[in-house]
Amino acid sequence: MSKKLNTSVGGTPTNTLFNYFSKSPAVDKKRLVPSVKAEPTHTDRTGSEKENQNNGKNLEVQETKPSAKRKLPVSVSSDEEELGDRRKKKRIIKPESESEDEMEETKSEDDFSGDESDYEPDGKEDAASEESESGDDEVDVATDNEESEDDPTPRKSRKKDKNHNNNNNEPLGQKVKLAEGSTFQEKLKNIQSNVKQDAAYDEISTTPFNLDEPMVWPHQKLDFLQPDKIKDKEGRRPDHPDYDKSTLYVPEKFLNNLSPGVRQWWVLKSNSFDCVLFFKVGKFYELYHGDADVGVNELGFTYMRGEFAHAGFPEISFDKMSTILVDRGYKVARVEQTETPDMVTERCKRVKATKFNKVVAREICQITNRGTQVFGSQCKIGPNHQPNYMLALVEQDEGTFSKFGICFIDTSIGDFHLGEFEDDKNCSRLLTLLSHHMPVLLLNERCALSLRTQQVVRTVLGGVLREQLASNGAHICNAEKTLKLLAERYYTGNGSDDNWPLVLRTMQSDLDHLGLTPSDNYKLALKALGQCIFFIDKCLLEPKVLPMARYQLYVPPDQLAEAKPVVASTLRRSHMVLDATTLSNLRIIGEEHTLQSTLDHCCTKFGKRLLHHWLCAPSCDVEVIRERQAAIGELLRLPSELQEMRALLAPMPDFERNLAQIHLFGNKQVKQRDHPDSRAILFEEKIYNKQKLVGFMAVLKGFNAVTKLPLMFHECEAPLLQRITQLTTSGGAFPDLREELRYFSTAFDHDAAAKTGVIAPQPGMDAEYDVVMDRIDEIEKRLKTYLVEQERHFGCRVTYFGSDKKRYQLDVPESHAHKANKSYALEGQAKGKKPSRRYTTAQTKVLLKDMQQAEDAKNVVLQDLARRLFEKFSNHYELWKQCIDCVANLDVLGCLAEYARQQMVICVPELVSGVDQPFIELEEGYHPCVNASTYIPNGLELGTRTEAPLSLLTGPNMGGKSTLMRELGLLVIMSQIGAHIPAARCRLSLVDRIFTRLGAQDDILAGHSTFLVELNETSLILKHATCHSLVLLDELGRGTATYDGTAIAASVVNFLANLKCRTLFSTHYHNLIDYFHHDQRITLGHMACMVENEDTTDPTQETVTFLYKYTAGACPKSYGFNAAKLAGMPQGIIKRAFELSKKVEAIALQRKITAKIVASTGEDFKQQKLNALIDLLQQLKMCHV
């Protein structure tokens, strides 16, 4: 990561990354211009330091001005120079050379391509360098060879010593003239006169520099980047319907004036303008121009000193930096060097190369955003267990309803879900899909969604990244193209050799045996799949993701009963339907204060994902529920086994993502398809290989650990526990992994692999590796033999010295070095207590070359050996996946058992099916997400012999009506996932769907008022509820006038009463109570409370104590003035409101009295009606009017 630089005038930056790019390469003695030596002055040293600081910095080239070539020293004393630097910087602008050769020799723009110089210092300069007091001007050749070998383009530069200050980019003539002066004053005058006379230096531009002013970088002034002039690569402006924001138009003239490395960056940026380029230079990823701004603002970098915005970080930090940017919504493009300098040299020999071709090739290897995360060699699997779905949405608008084709995938696991369904005008099924599988990235064609769907996208998916695809042209996706692409690249078989996945085969026409014609019922789904494939291919992920794809058919939960037989065979068992509204209102899933967070005691990440699925789709199969209940009960009776099992699973890695990662490591299609990653030069590859093997061994260790489960639960009696923990030979479903694990445990030395990052197979395991090792052993024997010969020649002990490319130097003691003849080349010497000289001979060079070739062959074999080992592991995918499924089920059962163990009150709910009248019997039930020690339990009955299935629930404000509804809904969900619930007793028939209408809120982005939101949710209930549903309706009708709201509420209550579904209907409309008071289809209930000083004329003296208990009968009042008092409203306001309330109540009572008197005219006035009339008169008297 970039460090903060010393910004003092004349100071030297301490940033090591900066030094790496700013150090001067070695000087070619053949091109060195002779100069007159002079005594060093302070000005000379300062100028040299400043020049070194700025070497390696690129100067942006404007279209109308040539590039800056050099900076001139303009002061004669250190004081004046210091003052001048504070005021302004001067540079001389020199026009680009017309000839290509001259441009190469006078290469001016400091290229961040990491060119390696071909200059060699002469003897005099070597001596001057050795005498230099400061090491800042010296170049570490070994480091340059390793880090900076990038571009073989010759750079006119050399080492600087303190006696010579010469600009690398000056023409030779200027250098000679500069050398003729015997003093610095004469040199300065000579330069100034040449500037005036030479036509090449036609302009001097002065750039003011003030540290207090914000920096304006060159890229901020580029004309083609200005908002009013920006275009995509095809020249289209943002207001054009086909504008592509992922590309940028960069003028060709601008590109041609750049140095090769800078041009390379701009070309890549023009093709990926919406990405942050991590541009590889040596061992570092560099961020330039606008990308550097992102690095500074988001990653905390500091701008590196130079003429343009620039920041960077080491290669090893890629995972951390990219993860931060991706989490914040950016797209990151990883740009790798795909050539070495030697490869560039060979390429340039084969073809005639221009200066732009003499830079090492760089290619984008992967584009990553939230929806395209793949855990490769540079990325570790993170702690987040939640899937990151990419959703492609295709809509066919039918007017009053829509038909959707969807495909959502998790690239980190390889799960592809496809489906096609019809939806109502409220997009209910789409909203349910989004609630169950919330995406992080949405793909859709431009201008292809209806207005109602766009409203859903704006509201529900407002914070989700969106990628709009072309709706016309060559890149448009359709079902036919999708099937053709899959057939050509992945599923080539037909007839008896058909290898199409079952789900995709279902979506093909029965009339086409080749599988290239889509079925009419799945054209939209296949088109959505094609959009996903197109986008992951654009991100260079297709050969990494598609080979491990597993396809699953998605059918909306409420469409299961309508599914065709051929489709139904691929579905899971029936599940309860929980739509988007219910998931939100009951707070079922989420991170905080939800049912999921309360129950989640899972030890593994794949267990957490399975728990999420159980909660979103509770089972409607009584046998499945009872099996889970029995398994949880047995785990509670075996507390030691439960804790031992949880301790065993706690350190398990994320097996599902590990399987996908290992599949990627063993995927040969990356190389076969000529993917850029197969050519990428990674400088920290040894570290990555070690991480690969350490992760692989952790997976093997994890699978070895779970093989203890069959023995741990060999005495269990619960059928489900037996099935998921016992081997197939014992009647279970747990796979026998011993043979496969034994092979991988003996295939290579695990300890050595963890230390070296290399898989060294045991002898006899790989014939090709054995041949290479025999060759290396033979070379080592030759080295030993030759060393013995040299010891005889020198008559003393001789050893080999050096490493890597400088190995096998003969280290001869100084006292015997005189025996070395002309065949010995002196490479270096050591001084001190044991002085020695180091030589190479023709034979040592041959031996070194042979050893390097053998080691390269070994590395190739080992690299492919590791890939083949990963591939062999991945070939047993179904076996590993079966094991993961068993462990995930066991983990969720253990999680629910751990939850039950921690509760004060717990019971096993009794579920029945096949009843004529659905019912619920609950005694002393607790809200599962609330602390039981502070919660007052409640019980109720619906649909029993004594109670009607619909309860009209009344009670004071804040009395607990909504809490009771939520408690009932959550306990039903827990019952049908098989969990024990916090209640004294519970008995119920199966619930096929839970509907909720809770709370009051508008949807301003969709243009829906509070009342319209209420009616939309109610309309969904009326259309889809069955007698087996559970309906929770809270205060329907409060968003409109009293009469309208009461009438709508009464009509809905009457409909649900006729449907005979279990319903809790809370209301403050006491007219409803009067209307349904004697209705046998409805039972009345209220939340009890205790009231003091109720009949006083001062409402502020009234005290209401909430008892939070469900009680039979109706509550006479809502006690709204008590709520006003609790809210802190002024007492005067409350009293005035109380007076008005009494007046309104009196008017209503007078109307009722009049109506009853009129109704009784001409009839026998029975005693019962008379008593009712007397009650009304007494109520009127109490109004004090």
The residue type found at 681 is I
Predicted confidence at residue 1117, as pLDDT, reads 75
How large is the average pLDDT for residues 1034-1063?
85
How large is the average pLDDT for residues 571-578?
70
- Contact present, 778 and 765 (Cβ < 8 Å): no
Tokens for 474, please give them.
């060559």
Q: Which helix (H) or strand (E) element contains residue 996?
A: strand 993-997
Predicted confidence at residue 207, as pLDDT, reads 42
Q: What angle do CA 959, 962, 965 make, to 5 degrees?
A: 125
Q: Which helix (H) or strand (E) element contains residue 104?
A: helix 100-105
Say if strands 825-830 and 836-840 run parallel, antiparallel, or are unpaired.
antiparallel
Q: At residue 1115, does pLDDT exceed 60? A: yes
Q: At residue 48, does pLDDT exceed 90? A: no
Predicted confidence at residue 512, as pLDDT, reads 79
Predicted confidence at residue 1171, as pLDDT, reads 66
- Contact present, 984 and 924 (Cβ < 8 Å): yes
Determine the Cα–Cα distance for residues 72 and 187; give it in Å rounded to an integer. Answer: 11
Predicted confidence at residue 156, as pLDDT, reads 36
Edge-first strand listing for the sheet containing 1082-1092: 577-578, 993-997, 1030-1034, 1062-1066, 950-954, 1082-1092, 1103-1112
Q: At residue 62, does pLDDT exceed 70? A: no
How large is the average pLDDT for residues 306-311?
92
Predicted confidence at residue 196, as pLDDT, reads 52
Determine the Cα–Cα distance for residues 451 and 200; give it in Å rounded to an integer. Answer: 63
Determine the Cα–Cα distance for residues 217 and 440; give it in Å rounded to an integer. Answer: 34
**Using the 8-state DSSP alphabet, how is residue 300 labeled?**
-
How large is the average pLDDT for residues 770-793?
92
Instruction: Identify the residue with better confidence: 546 or 114.
Output: 546
How large is the average pLDDT for residues 210-239?
86
How large is the average pLDDT for residues 680-702?
91
Kindly list the distances between the CA atom of residue 563 and the CA atoms of 419, 423, 558, 963, in Å, as whole numbers in the listed order.
12, 15, 10, 36
Q: Is 890 exposed, middle or buried (0-12, 13-18, 19+ CB in 10 A)?
A: buried
Tokens for 221, please give them.
């002034």
38-46 long-range CB contacts below 8 Å, 24 or more apart?
38/163, 38/182, 38/183, 38/184, 39/163, 40/162, 40/163, 41/184, 42/78, 43/73, 43/75, 43/76, 43/77, 43/78, 43/81, 43/184, 44/162, 44/163, 44/165, 44/184, 45/162, 46/10, 46/78, 46/81
Longest dimension (CA), the chain: 145
pTM to 2 decimal places? 0.75
Least confident of 62-76, 499-513, 745-759: 62-76
Predicted confidence at residue 965, as pLDDT, reads 94
pLDDT tens digits, one per residue of 369-412:
999 999 988 898 888 888 999 999 999 998 888 999 999 999 99
Predicted confidence at residue 560, as pLDDT, reads 60
pLDDT tens digits, one per residue of 129-139:
333 333 333 33
Of the ranges 85-89, 145-149, 1008-1012, the best mean pLDDT one: 1008-1012
The residue type found at 845 is K
How large is the average pLDDT for residues 948-965?
89
Edge-first strand listing for the sheet containing 88-93: 68-70, 88-93, 203-208
Predicted confidence at residue 1121, as pLDDT, reads 74
pLDDT tens digits, one per residue of 315-355:
999 999 999 999 999 999 999 999 988 888 888 888 877 88
- Residue 845 pLDDT grade (very low, low, confident, very high; cuts 50, 70, 90): very high
Q: How far is CA 338 from the centre of its chain?
A: 26
Instruction: Identify the residue with better confidence: 769 or 636.
Output: 636
Q: Which residues of 735-759 are buried (b: 16+ CB within 10 A; e: fewer)?
A: bebeebeeebeebbebeebeeebbb
What is the gyration radius of the CA atoms in the chain, in angstroms? Answer: 40
Kindly list the distances between the CA atom of residue 715 and the CA atoms of 632, 634, 642, 708, in Å, as whole numbers in the listed order.
15, 11, 13, 13
Tokens for 486, please give them.
């899959």
Determine the Cα–Cα distance for residues 494 and 304; give it in Å rounded to an integer. Answer: 59
- Residue 824 pLDDT grade (very low, low, confident, very high; cuts 50, 70, 90): very high
Q: At residue 172, does pLDDT exceed 50? A: no
